[in-house]
Amino acid sequence: MAQKNATMLVVGNCVKQRQVKGDFIGNNGEKVEYDYIEVKVLTPEVDVVEVRFPSNGALKVPDPDEQVTIRCDVRGSGGNIKVTAEAVVAAADALV
Domains defined for the chain, CATH in brackets? 5-94 (2.40.50.140)
At 96 the pLDDT is: 41
Angle CA(66)–CA(54)–CA(29) in degrees, nearest 5?
Answer: 145
Task: Quote the mean pLDDT of the chain.
Answer: 87
- Signed CA dihedral, 68, 43, 3, 6: sign only: negative
Tens of pLDDT, residue by residue over 36-77, are 999 999 998 878 999 999 999 899 999 888 899 999 999 988
Smallest CA-to-CA distance from 95 within 7, 10, 4, 6 is with 10
> What's the confidence (pLDDT) of residue 3?
67
- 70 and 88 in contact (C-beta within 8 Å)? yes
